[in-house]
Structure 1
């Protein structure tokens, strides 16, 4: 019996030691902070590197801001705007995304709203289109500039707000515009000779892709710019107040469009400038997005007690994609119900940088293949038309 308990104790120690070593490996080696550089010429390998940003840049909690770079073997360039929620009032500002909230499991209602500081390990965890070890990834040799997100304002705010909730004051630096412009200035100064350029984003970063692609197109005026917006759909009558009053985005002056109820659609076809740019817009959504349906419910004060808030989001998505398809812009879409969970009446949120990149399909074609054919091959391909028409 003593031998048995001795074996149990040693087995427990081995398990604990393995867990500790695993944590140390991932924290200090696998996801260690990327080494710092100043210019693209400083990078001599294919690893991720950090570039500190200056000029008044910061995260919502006032901490330092930086961007991340991985040098590719081609002359093609990706500018990736990260997602990570948003906040616009005391309730949402009081609920940042933390490790504990992320581990809290899935809920019918949204429990946390935004990242208050940098998550520097994110670039190294970038899969899908960012996986340079995947021979099936047509973008594996591209240069990537990763623009992280930590300001709760879709990368466009320019104001410091003090919110109050339950008597507690929360100070938020909505500093997205300064951060984004600093990142793009670095891109423009370091990538002067490029082939193809893809501006992309997921979740709230998808909106930033739509907002800043015209600026990229103006700088690289002789090139066709590709803009990928993965999971860009949130309609609300509150956008004008949130973008221009709460976040001080000055949308017409700084972003070039009039705000209605669908700010993604507004950014593409309700512009106030008359500049003709070479932009090909690529728009992807899953039919019952498990995250943005909940964001929409909070924005629009909808009950989550039934599936009505999900079905309304889906109807808005299909209607917007139809209007954009019928407009005169260069636009192709990908919409799918792949992976539908009938118990939750939900589909996954994003596709581009995760395990769904190759798995997710529409009309029998994978998302990765759709993206390759639209960008690499410059084919015009939209998928999921039957879902839109249902």
Structure 2
């Protein structure tokens, strides 16, 4: 047992040292996670004129059941397992990575509010700090201050991070008017029930764009961004039966395990959400079969194909500021 414990400790130290070789923590004074623990984000230095702004995923919570201390539906403190695993776009050593040599700013997610909350909520005996907007704003200010002359900016995120990317894209686009900017949401298409209470709980920061409704849908935001910034590239990726997105849609409907009817309903609405902004010429999408959730943190980023359309080639085009061809099975 002592040898096993020593081995685990040694492995943890090795992983931490490996992380520090590529990623530098930036502490955020006043930043806070849902459980009150301190917040920080991470930067992997590279070309200062090419920047990936990457919002982490990690679920969400909006009531006593989903936000409870034992709930597994959201991250409660900073957790950087994606960086430790070093797969997909986090493989900083691979020249096949479309962002090899870029500066990569990783914005951890630990507030259960899709990176946009501005509230601390008492759910009946315990409080949750939905302060994602404060944390995200600190990361944005760092990028704007340290990379004022960026020529290429790629704004992205997986799952809840996909919402962070699209909800904060207006700030990035307004700042980098002369840069090539692409925004790509990975597995966060925005299917929600009409009575979803999360936004009311979180007091969110929504994009500041002309024509948006008081509670805009994700597809509405993509379309508004496409129109307001015609030189930008807007994009989405999802699988047709994304198990995690279906799970959360089921939770919104009060189902701990989503029914087949809920899965079919989500699939229909998800395709509508992805296809609706396609009326804009600077918007594109990649729809893949299956139920896998997210692709950017996974090795499949380098191997996935739908027909003859390689996801890696699609992503490379976005990194170069090009509108990649639209892909669907």
TM-score normalized by structure 1? 0.77
Deviation at 1:377, TM superposition (A): 6.6
Q: Distance in 1 between matches of 2:81 and 2:201?
A: 30
- State whether structure 2 residue 281 is matched by structure 1 residue 324: no
Q: Distance in 2 between matches of 1:31 and 1:150?
A: 20
- State whether structure 2 residue 186 is matched by structure 1 residue 186: no
Contact 1:259 / 1:266 at 8 angstroms: preserved in 2?
A: no
Equivalent residue, structure 1, for 2:62: 88
Contact 1:236 / 1:300 at 8 angstroms: preserved in 2?
A: yes
Deviation at 1:132, TM superposition (A): 1.6
1:300 to 253, 258, 262: 253
Q: Measured at CA, do residues 303 and 153 of structure 1 come closer, stay the same or move farther in structure 2, by a change above 3 Å?
A: closer
2:15 to 14, 30, 50: 30
1:57 aligned counterpart, secondary structure: strand
Contact 1:217 / 1:277 at 8 angstroms: preserved in 2?
A: no
Contact 1:154 / 1:204 at 8 angstroms: preserved in 2?
A: yes
Equivalent residue, structure 1, for 2:23: 48
1:132 to 92, 96, 106: 92
Equivalent residue, structure 2, for 1:336: 288
Deviation at 1:71, TM superposition (A): 0.6
Contact 2:246 / 2:266 at 8 angstroms: preserved in 1?
A: yes
Q: Distance in 1 between matches of 2:69 and 2:149?
A: 43
- State whether structure 2 residue 327 is matched by structure 1 residue 372: no
Q: Distance in 1 between matches of 2:171 and 2:207?
A: 14
Summarize deviations over 1:252-311 as a string: whole Å, max 9, x none. 769983255x7311322357xx84463211100011111110100111235746411111
- State whether structure 2 residue 213 is matched by structure 1 residue 258: yes
TM-score normalized by structure 2? 0.90
Q: Larger % of strand: which?
A: 2
Contact 2:186 / 2:237 at 8 angstroms: preserved in 1?
A: yes
2:123 to 148, 163, 167: 163
1:237 to 177, 194, 206: 194
Q: Distance in 2 between matches of 1:227 and 1:334?
A: 13
- State whether structure 2 residue 134 is matched by structure 1 residue 174: no
Equivalent residues, number:
328
Contact 2:119 / 2:129 at 8 angstroms: preserved in 1?
A: yes
Equivalent residue, structure 1, for 2:43: 69
**Which of the pair has more CA radius of gyration?**
1
Flag structure 1 segments of 5+ consecutive residues without an equivalent: 1-12, 36-45, 98-111, 341-346
Equivalent residue, structure 1, for 2:236: 283
Deviation at 1:194, TM superposition (A): 1.7
Q: Distance in 1 between matches of 2:95 and 2:178?
A: 31
Contact 1:158 / 1:175 at 8 angstroms: preserved in 2?
A: yes
Q: Which one scores higher on RCO, CA 8 angstroms, separation ≥ 6?
A: 2
Flag structure 2 segments of 5+ consecutive residues without an equivalent: none
Q: Measured at CA, do residues 213 and 51 of structure 1 come closer, stay the same or move farther in structure 2, by a change above 3 Å?
A: same
Contact 1:33 / 1:121 at 8 angstroms: preserved in 2?
A: no
Q: Distance in 1 between matches of 2:178 and 2:10?
A: 45
Deviation at 1:205, TM superposition (A): 0.4
Summarize deviations over 1:71-92 as a string: whole Å, max 9, x none. 1246311000000011100010
1:217 to 162, 165, 173: 173
Equivalent residue, structure 2, for 1:202: 158
